[in-house]
Structure 1
Amino acid sequence: MPPAPPPPVPEKEPIYDINQLPLDPGERQSIANYPVNDQDAVRRAYIIKGPYQPDAHDFDNDSRKIGGKDRKFNPLWFYKYPWIEYSVKKEAAFCFVCYLFGKGRSKTSAFVDGGWNNWNRTDALDIHVGGVTSAHNAAQERYNLFMTPHGAIDDKIVKVDSEERRLYKMRLTYSLRCLRFLLQQGLAFRGHDESEESSNRGNFIELLKWLAANNEEVDKYVLKNAPYNCTLTSPDIQKEIIQCCAMETRDQIIKEIGDDHFTILADESSDVSHKEQLALCVRYIDKSGRPCERYLGIVHVDDTTSSSLKEAIQSLLVNNGLTMTQIRGQGYDGASNMKGKIKGLKTLIMKESPSAYYVHCFAHQLQLVLVAVAKDNDDCVWFFDRVSLLLNIVGSSCKRHRMIRDHQYDNVMKALQCGILESGSGLNQKMGLSRPGETRWGSHYKTVVNLIAMYPTIRDVLIALGLDTSARGDWPKIHTMVGVLESFDFIFNAHLMLDILGHTNELSECLQRKDQDILNAMSLVHLAKSKIQQMRSDGWVSFLQRVTIFCNKYGIQVPEMEHNYVPYGRSARFAPDQTNNDHFRREVYIGVIDKISQELDSRFDEVNMELLTCMAALNPADSFASFDANKIHRLAEFYPNEFSSSDLLRLDLQLETFIDDMRKDELFKGINNLVDLSVKLVETKRDKVYHWVYLLIKLVLLLPVATASVERIFSAMTFIKNKLRNKMGDSLLDHCLMTFIERDIFLKLSEEEIINTFMAIKRRRPDKKKK
């Protein structure tokens, strides 16, 4: 039996009823009076109904003209002017298309406003129509486009069926997939020679070729098998797809910020082509109540004056739909053009947003502390100068690097055989000697750690070089360095720097976390200070014992602490008359620690700021032991745009309920930082209940801690724009950085979203196949 026919599909009910619309000729109700969602339906209903054109018998049969002039409406005009609409009630004529689609002067014409009834002036009809650029013809064109939305000239000339559109989208999808892979890996797209005869046509085309070779469907429609001029592989198409990827990624960040407040983190640096670039990050609170730092953009600046940087930041924010008044914090390094009190960048921005408080990068300040100590103490200066000489000797050739690696390997193998070291995954990795830098946080600590860990290897290599006749030209420096390595002064200073830099390195790494809050950062600074003070008061005996054990292990002579001090490798003329105990304990050990403490107190002057003092009252540690309603009230006064006088009264009343609720609720037990408190408030919906308190917590979390996110941008910039890609333009660099740095957002984007954005940039259509 033949299959039963499918049931008839019921017709969809129209979304409007033409017969119920106010279509009385000449008295049409304005479409603007309808709701926005109904305007299109009403307009289409009017168009379908058409202009009111009565039959000829509806008019009087008496004479039309007197003395050659019309005395009433002539129904023959309907045939010559199909846009005419006649109102029997008003005895006037109207223009149907100008009423619906007219703009400017056509809206004030007599054919729209009040109606036209000057029948003896028949030339008024032609005058209303006017020339090609008249308002009536413009309204007529909009009417035609509304009735036939796919009536464009290119659609009329080239008929594009659904199958061709599907194949076009397929080729675009495969090009997008290849570019997404290259973007998230930070790889180049173009090749030096992309001709078909080339053996390497660049990463993008080669990846597309590989995809086609492993997928028959792809091979059937891409590259050579694609329609003429529609391979979607040209450099311009690649850049447009990359632009769309960056636009969608940045839109996700902007949507997450919305109309909320944020903090800016900025720094300037030059790229590989020696162009000054300003990188900008934003710090905001996401929907879960956690602070996030995201890359916003990079822009080329002609100079680094504060006014130029401010204009660049403002243009970048405006272009992304953000305003200067939303800024509630600033984070920069210590450059004068950034933190200047009169004409600095922070001052210029605070003029437009007074609550945009500036915080000097904590990690940068910590690095300045270590540099200041190293430059102020003679023994520290001598130690790092000897380390620099050692790095020059060892790193002068690849042969010496290989000698270091080979000796290190032999020493590790001997230690494993003797049972001194244990084998396992991640243990006994290769190490090298990297040169420390003032702008690379933690580089001094890494150099000292590797120096002590590789001490026997370094000494053996130097001794071997000191006996190698091919290195005779470096013998004076090598022999000097061997003596330095075997001196108690060098070993003592190396272990002292190891301890001090070790304590501060933990602080530096904690400060560079993206979700770190400023209160916790200040507590970490206090903790580092207390550790250093503990070293000063109780650490000397254990420290000296550890240095002595190291020296005895490698045959280094340990001086008697009661004997007079004789500096190694330096003239005793400039050394004071003192014992070894006075020099190593009082002058070096205690002197360096006191200098570190002094620098920490002076550089981290935010401790004494009233703003941060008030912030501490919100600290949830120890069941809100630091809670102080008066300080919190004072904290809210720092943000007058958010808290009016009436809002402050509501905040005072809300604080009493808030603190009682927090201390009684078991869910908030054990919370020790503001980030966890903010997240828990959102999870329990308390952010809606205690709106004013949560707003204060958000404002505190917005204050930046470090500019590590900006520094990571410059690291990514050197990876994206390298020597082989030094001609990359500023816009393409910005797009590639956005997708590379924020790849977690980029990978979540759907292909459909990117394709829709690509198609919306400009009108596109698939080309016909090659004949």
Structure 2
Amino acid sequence: MATRGHHDSEGNFIQLLRLRAEDNPLLQTLIENGRYLSPEIVNEQISLIGQNILRHLLDSVKTSKWYSVMADECMDVSYEEQLVICVRWVDSDLQIHEDMLGLLKIESQTSNYITAAIKDILLRCGLPLELCRGQAYDGAPNMSGHLSGVAKQIQDQSPSALGVHCLAHCINLCVQDVTKKCQPVRDSMDLVIEIEKLICLSPKRSNLFLEQKQLHGSAGSPNLRPICPTRWTVRTYAIESVLKNYKVLQETLDNIHKNTRDEYSRRAGGQLAMMDKFSTFFGLKLSHLIFAASEQLSLSVQGKETSAHDANKAAKATESYFERQRQESVFNKFYESVIDEAKDLTDPPTLPRYRRIPKRVDDGTEQHRFDTVKGYYRQQYYEALDLAKGELNARFDQKNMSVVQEIEALLLSAANGEDVSIPSSVADLYKNDISLGSLETQLKLLPGIFKDDDSKIKIKRVTLIDTISTYMLRSEANKRLLSDVYSLLKIYLTIPVTTATAERAFSSLRRIKTYLRSTMTQARLNHCMLGYVHKELTDNVDVKEIASNFIKKFPLRQVFFGNV
């Protein structure tokens, strides 16, 4: 909501004050005097609140000692490039926190400029770069480039600041690669995009679609969903909206094709011809099978509390799912179900027409000819699953993630009483954070915290980092006895796996800087964002402290308001 409008006297701000003043005589007097109501005063008060929130937030981060930085870029409604900075830290109870520090309007998107901007913000916040233990960015060359990207430049100055390519972005790239490389998936996704644009961008065609839903008794089926390339979990819903309205869409497209004489009639005819083919329906079902699992994986890694162990475990489970789907019995069941569903919707499945390769491009190898229709679709099915599994495995196989996995393996092996040695990569990175000699001794003592447990449920084998964290916190004695193990555990949990918190900050940005408030200053935007994103800290702001700080800034205010 715009606070002022064209005239202050009729703006929302003054109207809300008048409403509040109906039961507050002091506020009524202030309004009548017309003082301390200017935009500058309001911005100053917002600034005091934002600074108070940021100060309390940084105090909490500094108690953790180590932190990680996450950053991403976005263009706001006034076409200005905004860089959001977030930090990830772990408290004394091993609870993971991810918090936004603020936004910075950037004039350049080069890696040198962004690196300098991040270092400047960390310096202003009193967060030494030497204590940074992780970084997470998207896969853009300026951020994650292996020669001069932001992650590389910061790690050159702070070797322990491991750079991670956001795993949620990685999953999205996996899905995009499968779409590009697998023809049935690519064609079906193109169809979903074109159908949504054809129908939803026209009120007339949209109403025709709704009428057809009513006629077919499908009023409860979902409306068509758009596919956005920058959103991670919308493809499955978009495909479902087409599959659940398949017959309705065919009737709608047929109506548009026959009753109109424009460009959209030709488009509708082409899309209808595609929908009448069994290959299209098969491609939609195959895409849904792959994207549903991939998007569930994406959702699982986006939580603030997600650790590298959680992300890798979820990825392995998804790869295992794709492997199970590759069995012949599973394909037969899938194929028969698609045949059954498509019986009244599409033409019968057929083999594609054989095309002879022109002699000028023929390399002499003989083309493979499928003997059966089922064999042709089996090849497409296996190809899509192999692509999905291979891309997922390749994207998650990051150089710096191997160090994280070594820490994880070290802690789990030690917890199970196995003989372990500290990997050289771990020792080199964290020799200034922990005592390596003490760590070796404490790793041998680690199994004892599970054996001395008084609960009825006995731990046979430790398989989760969360289990170590839980038992470590059973008593302060454990934390003191295993202080270096506790420190290594904190560092492990501090390393980020996604930039989802930064992406959520951009969602908040669209609610704060709207078309009606597109000219607000960067300072006001930052302070409003801090108040909006950190709602708990905003609720706990000491209003009297804010008022006192506001009054103390100038002697005239002390005369006007008195002492608070």
Residue equivalent to 1:744: 536
Q: Distance in 1 between matches of 2:437 and 2:416?
A: 23
List per-residue Cα deviations over 1:486-520 (Å, max 9, x = no partner).
21111100000111111111100001111100111
Quick check: 1:249–1:745 contact (8 Å CA) kept in 2? yes
Equivalent pair of 1:290/1:675 in contact (CA under 8 Å): no
In structure 2, the partner of 1:696 is 488
Residue of structure 2 equivalent to 1:11:
none
Equivalent pair of 1:331/1:705 in contact (CA under 8 Å): yes
Amino acid at match of 2:14: I
**Partner residue, 1:344:** 149
Q: Of 422, 441, 445, which residue of structure 2 is paired with 1:657? A: 445
After TM superposition, the structure 1 stretch with the greater mean CA deviation from structure 2, 346-355 or 572-581, is: 572-581
The correspondence of residues 8-47 of structure 1 with structure 2, limited to 5 A, is none
Shift of 1:629: 2.8
Q: 352, 356, 362: which one pairs with 1:565?
A: 352
Q: Deviations over 1:456-513 (max 9, x none)?
A: 33223223323434x6542222122122112111110000011111111110000111
Aligned with 1:468 (options 242, 259, 268): 259
Judge conservation of contact 1:263–1:328 (CA < 8 Å) in 2.
yes
> CA–CA distance in 2 between the matches of 1:609 and 1:454?
43
**Given the alignment of the two structures, is residue 617 of structure 1 paired with residue 409 of structure 2, yes or no?**
yes
Cα distance in 1 for partners of 2:15, 2:232 equals: 40
Higher relative contact order (CA 8 A, sep 6+): 2
Who is 2:287 aligned against?
A: 497
Instruction: Say whether 1:765 aligns with 2:558.
Output: yes
**How far 1:591 sits from its partner (Å)?**
0.9
SS at match of 1:495: helix
Q: Do the aligned residues in 1 keep the contact of 2:162 with 2:495 (CA within 8 Å)?
A: yes
TM value normalised by structure 2: 0.89
Question: Post-superposition shift, 1:392?
Answer: 2.6
Q: Deviations over 1:666-717 (max 9, x none)?
A: 5696786434643553353232332111111111111111111111111211
Question: Does the 8 Å contact 2:275/2:346 carry over to 1?
Answer: no
SS at match of 2:84: strand
Q: Specify the alignment match of 1:595 in structure 2.
A: 387
Question: How many percent identity over aligned positions?
Answer: 25
Shift of 1:319: 1.6
Instruction: Report how far residue 225 of structure 1 moved.
Output: 5.6
Deviation at 1:380, TM superposition (A): 2.4
**AA partner of residue 283 (structure 1):** R
Show the counterpart of 1:721. Answer: 513
Q: Any idea what the Cα deviations from partners look like across 1:349-394, whole Å, max 9, x if unmatched?
A: 1122110001110010111111111111222222222223212321
Equivalent residue of 1:342, what SS? coil
- The answer for the alignment partner of 1:254 in structure 2 is 58
- Three-state SS of the structure 2 residue aligned to 1:629 is coil
The partner residue of 2:17 within 201, 208, 212 is 208
Q: What CA distance in whole angstroms lies between the structure 2 residues aligned with 1:521 and 1:311?
A: 30
Cα distance between partner residues in 1 of 2:130 and 2:4: 41
| Partner Cα distance (1:384, 1:226) in 2 | 59
Q: Structure 1 stretch 630-639 or stretch 521-530: which is displaced more?
A: 630-639
Q: CA deviation digits over 1:530-581, x for unaligned, max 9?
A: 10011112420111122112112x3433326xxx4349xxx89899643423
CA contact (8 A) 2:61 2:89 kept: yes
Deviations 1:237-262 (A, max 9, x none): 21111111111111121111115110
Q: Distance in 1 between matches of 2:406 and 2:532?
A: 39
Aligned to 1:681: 472
State the SS of the aligned residue for 1:734: helix
Q: Is the 8 A contact 1:229 1:767 kept in 2?
A: no
**How do residues 94-493 of structure 1 correspond to structure 2 at under 5 angstroms?**
187-195=1-9, 198=10, 201-202=11-12, 204-213=13-22, 215=23, 218=24, 220-223=25-28, 226=31, 228-230=33-35, 232-258=36-62, 260-408=65-213, 411=216, 428=220, 431-469=222-260, 472-493=262-283
Using a 3 Å threshold, how does the CA distance of structure 1 residues 291 and 761 change in structure 2: closer, same or farther?
farther
Deviation, 1:321, is 1.8
Mapped to 2, the partners of 1:489 and 1:413 lie a distance apart of 24
Q: Is the 8 A contact 1:288 1:683 kept in 2?
A: no
Q: CA deviation at 1:188?
A: 3.5
The alpha-carbon distance between structure 1 residues 338 and 736, as it changes in their structure 2 partners (threshold 3 A), is same
Is the Cα contact below 8 Å between 1:355 and 1:638 reproduced in 2? yes
For 1:507, which of 270, 291, 297 is the aligned residue? Answer: 297
2: CA distance, partners of 1:673 / 1:755? 49
Higher mean alpha-carbon deviation, 608-617 vs 383-392, is at: 608-617
- For the pair shown, the structure with the greater C-alpha radius of gyration is 1
SS of 2:3 mapped into structure 1: coil
- 1:338–1:344 contact (8 Å) kept in structure 2: yes
- Name the SS of the counterpart of 2:497 in structure 1: coil
Secondary structure at the aligned position of 2:134 is classed as: strand
Task: Show CA shifts across 1:568-598 (max 9, x none).
Answer: xxx8989964342332111x11111111122
Whether the 8 Å contact between 1:332 and 1:361 is mirrored in structure 2 is: yes
Residue identity matched to 1:194: D
- Aligned residue for 2:322, secondary structure, equals helix
- Superposed CA deviations along residues 252-299 of structure 1, whole A, max 9, x for unmatched, are 211111151100000112212121211100000124311111001111
Return the alpha-carbon distance in structure 1 between the equivalents of residues 357 and 346 of structure 2. Answer: 25
Q: CA deviation at 1:408?
A: 3.6
1:605: how far off? 1.4
CA distance in 1, matches of 2:259, 2:340: 31
Residues 510 and 303 of structure 1, relative CA distance in 2, 3 Å threshold: same
Paired with 1:477 and 1:600, the residues of 2 have a C-alpha distance of: 35
CA distance in 2, matches of 1:596, 1:607: 21
Q: Residue 533 of structure 1: SS of its match in structure 2?
A: helix
Quote how far apart the aligned CAs of 1:234 are: 1.7
Q: Provide the C-alpha distance between the structure 2 equivalents of 1:539 and 1:727, rounded to a whole number of angstroms.
A: 57
Change in Cα spacing, 1:511 to 1:278, as seen in structure 2 (3 Å) is same
Structure 1 residues 609 and 767 mapped into 2: Cα distance closer, same or farther (>3 Å)?
A: closer
SS at match of 1:334: coil
2:276/2:346 contact within 8 Å kept: yes
Secondary structure at 1:274 match in 2: coil
Q: 1:287 to 1:208 in 2, by over 3 A?
A: farther
Q: Counterparts of 2:285 and 2:170 in 1: how far apart (Å)? A: 23
| 8 Å Cα contact 1:618-1:627 kept in structure 2 | no
Unpaired runs of 5+ residues, structure 1, are: 1-186, 415-427
Task: Say which is worse superposed, 360-369 or 271-280, in terms of deviation.
Answer: 271-280
C-alpha separation in 2, matches of 1:609 and 1:225 = 59
User: What does 1:84-103 correspond to in 2, within 5 Å?
Assistant: none
SS at match of 2:382: helix
Counterpart-to-counterpart distance in 2, 1:602 and 1:626: 32
Indicate conservation of the 8 Å contact 2:67/2:132, yes or no.
yes
Q: 2:377 aligns to what?
A: 584
RMSD: 2.8
> Aligned-pair distance for 1:650?
1.0
CA contact (8 A) 1:617 1:626 kept: no
For residues 274-330 of structure 1, give each alpha carbon's deviation from its aligned partner in whole angstroms, at most 9, with x where no partner exists: 212111000001243111110011111110111111111112112222121121000
Which residue does the alignment assign to 2:420? 629
Per the alignment, do residues 487 and 356 of structure 1 end up closer, same or farther by CA in structure 2, a change over 3 Å counting?
A: same
Q: Say whether the 8 Å CA contact 1:488–1:551 is kept in structure 2.
A: yes
Letter of the 2:439 partner, please give it.
Answer: L
